[in-house]
Amino acid sequence: MKKDYLNSIPLEGFAQIIPRRRSIIERAPATMPQYEYNANVLAKNLHPSVQHVIVTDIVQLPNAKLYTLSPDAEKGTDKLAYFQPGQYISLDLKISGSRLTRPYSLCSLPSVKEYQIVVKDMKNGFASEYINRNFEIGTRVDISEPSGFFSYEPLRDAGHIVGIAGGSGIAPFVSMAKAIAEGLLDADMTLLYGCKTEEEILFKEELEELQKKCDRIKVVHVLSDETKEGYYHGFISKELIREFMQEDSSVFVCGSQGMYDYIRTQTEEMALPRRRVRFDAYGEYRLSERDEGQFVKGKQFELRVLTNDGETHVISARSDESILVAIERAGIKAPSKCRSGECGWCRTRLISGEVYTPVLTEHRRQYDQVAGYLHACCSFPLSDCTVTINCE
Ligand code: FES
């Protein structure tokens, strides 16, 4: 049978291919032709490794600033990468000897001409305080391509979204609302927006305008520290979520870590399937009571960092800060984007030592967990450690 099969193969055909290929190779030019394939050009436009931008407008909002970032043609960025409403960019910053990144959700309508981000005034917010004090019109900064999975996907999500936002977590929903109003996003959205007081509401007029302009958008304000006519009072509880849910709504949540803990319990008590509830990446994970007994308090460990260029850095790492923060604090530029375990950009190899990874940030592939890879942004040292990183 095998022999019959072999006999059936037209081997004379193969014999002709080889000399034909040889002659093509011999006739080929000595240098590679510089073709620009359309697919490559598109991929480069959608996923640039870095984008150079310049601050072209700053608007003061309640306890926050709205920045407009435009392409910096002088540094080689003519247009920005297109994005999906709900995605974020990561800013590349140098602050007192540290090289670090910070993710910010885009709040503008998808465009290649400009992006907008909101930076909240945060007490002890290392990067946000730096940005709001130092950024001015003309400031140049490098940013990542748009990233993240917090965007509407018609094949996966329901036609009605319940958006739950807290404070500056309103940013991705503003982008979504604008896209719905412009017909770029085919969905209805009810936005439950929680703030402490009326004064703290961001984009109040803009959201009202969008609501008036498009009947697919509804905004419900919820104030926790104030009782006022026209506003709901309290927290965004399961009762409130239920009031605005339709039979098959998808729930999108963006806010602080504390708010996520609360909303998670509410949606679990509502027995909503996990696929119907989506949480945005919230940036730096902060250890709390939930992690009690699983990390070491108030210790310094030795961290050996082996970089891809052959260097070994011996630095100190605090037990309550991530490996990524320790590396950045030492002025070493490590790759990172979301800072919450989701994107895998900070994936690194643990050669020796032990770390703690909070369960809420555990997005590693199973193979990585077994093979000793970690996401440096959400791994906290439990002992002296050695890791490898690809420096940028
Ligand atoms: S920076 Fe995204 S997983 Fe660490």
Residue 177 has pLDDT above 80, yes or no: yes
pLDDT of residue 5: 66
Q: Report yes or no on 223 lying in a domain.
A: yes
For residues 43 and 194, which has the higher predicted lDDT (pLDDT)? 194
Shared domain check, 255 and 343? no
Distance 372 CA to ligand 1 centre (A): 16
Looking at 279, 303, 328, the residue that finishes a domain is 279
Name the residue of 282, 340, 368, 389 whose CB sits within 8 Å of the most ligand 1 atoms, as the mutation to test its pocket: 340
Single-letter residue type at 340: S
Averaged pLDDT, 156-172: 96
104 and 186 in a single domain? The answer is: no
Q: Is 235 helix (H, G, I), strand (E, B) or coil?
A: coil
- The whole-number pLDDT of residue 243 equals 97
Q: Is residue 35 part of a domain?
A: no
Q: Mean pLDDT in the chain? A: 92
Compute the distance from residue 275 Cα to the ligand 1 centre, in Å: 22
Please give the distance, rounded to the nearest whole angstrom, from the Cα atom of residue 37 to the centre of ligand 1.
31
CB contact at 8 A, 85 and 108: no
126 or 301, higher pLDDT: 301
Of 248, 279, 310, the one marking the end of a domain is 279
Distances (CA, A) of 117 to 10, 175, 231: 64, 10, 26
CATH number of the domain bearing residue 304: 3.10.20.30
Q: Does the residue 342 lie in any domain?
A: yes
- Taken in order 27, 30, 33, 39, the sign of the CA dihedral is positive
Say whether both 354 and 263 belong to one domain: no
- Average pLDDT on 3-11 reads 66
Residues 111 and 85 in one domain: yes
Does residue 338 have its Cβ closer than 6 Å to ligand 1?
yes
Q: Does ligand 1 come within 6 angstroms of the Cβ of 98?
A: no
Any domain includes 129: yes
The predicted pLDDT at position 2 comes to 55
- Whether 249 has a pLDDT exceeding 60, the answer reads yes
Convert the pLDDT of each residue in 136-156 to its tens digit: 999 999 999 999 999 999 999
* pTM for this prediction: 0.87
Question: CB of 341 closer than 6 A to ligand 1?
Answer: yes
* 132 & 227 share domain: no
**Residue 228 contacts by C-beta under 8 Å, 6 or more apart in sequence?**
198
Instruction: Pick the atom of ligand 1 nearest to 378's CA.
Output: 4
Question: How is residue 147 annotated by DSSP?
Answer: B
Q: Ligand 1 centroid to 170 CA: how many Å?
A: 22
Of 303, 282, 285, 281, nearest to 294 (Cα)? 285
Asked if 263 and 359 sit in the same domain, the reply is no
What is residue 183's predicted lDDT score, i.e. its pLDDT?
96
Q: How far is the CA of 326 from the centre of ligand 1 (A)?
A: 15
Residue 1 predicted with pLDDT over 80: no
The answer to whether 337 and 345 are in contact (CB under 8 A) is: yes
CA–centroid distance, 286 to ligand 1, in Å, is: 14
Q: Is the CB of 343 under 6 A from ligand 1?
A: yes
Residue 227 is predicted with a pLDDT of 96
pLDDT of the residue at 23: 87
CATH number at residue 182: 3.40.50.80
Q: Are residues 166 and 135 in the same domain?
A: no
Does any domain span residue 55? yes
Same-domain status, 167 and 228: yes
Among 108, 143, 178, give the residue marking a domain's end: 143
pLDDT digit string, tens, across residues 283-336: 888 898 889 999 999 999 999 999 998 999 999 999 999 999 999 999 999 999
Q: Ligand 1 mean position to 283 CA, how many Å?
A: 9
Whether 90 is in the pocket of ligand 1, judged by its Cβ within 6 Å, is no
375 lines ligand 1 (CB under 6 A): yes
Grade residue 40 by pLDDT with cuts at 50, 70 and 90.
confident
Higher pLDDT: 37 or 339? It is 339
Say if 13 falls within a structural domain. no
Q: Could you give the 3-state DSSP secondary structure of residue 373?
A: strand
Burial of 45 (0-12, 13-18, 19+ CB in 10 A): middle
Predicted confidence band of residue 122 (pLDDT cuts 50, 70, 90): confident
| Ligand 1 pocket check for 101: Cβ under 6 Å | no
Mutate to test the pocket of ligand 1, among 99, 282, 338, 364 (most ligand atoms within 8 A of CB): 338
Same domain, 210 and 270: yes
Residue 225 inside a domain? The answer is yes
Which residue segment(s) compose the domain that 228 sits in?
160-279
- Whether residue 245 sits in one domain with residue 314: no
Q: Which range has highest mean pLDDT (2-6, 11-15, 356-360)?
A: 356-360
**In the predicted structure, residue 86 carries a pLDDT above the cut 70:** yes
Cα pseudo-dihedral 330, 335, 339, 342, rounded to 10: -150
Burial of 305 (0-12, 13-18, 19+ CB in 10 A): buried
CA distance 270 to 247: 13
Q: Could you tell me if 273 and 322 lie in one domain? A: no
Predicted confidence (pLDDT) per residue in 90-110, tens digit: 999 999 888 999 999 999 999
Whether residue 116 is contained in a domain is answered as yes
Pocket test for ligand 1, best of 282, 322, 345, 362 (most atoms within 8 A of CB): 345
Tokens standing for 367? 């193979």
The total number of structural domains that make up the chain: 3
**Statement: residue 6 has pLDDT above 90:** no
pLDDT at 63 over 60: yes
What is the three-class DSSP state of 356?
Answer: strand
Residues 217 and 262 in one domain: yes
The lowest-confidence range among 51-55, 114-118, 291-295 is: 291-295
The answer, yes or no, to whether residue 34 has pLDDT greater than 60, is: yes
Could you tell me the distance, in angstroms and rounded to a whole number, from the CA of residue 376 to the centre of ligand 1?
7
CATH number at residue 81: 2.40.30.10
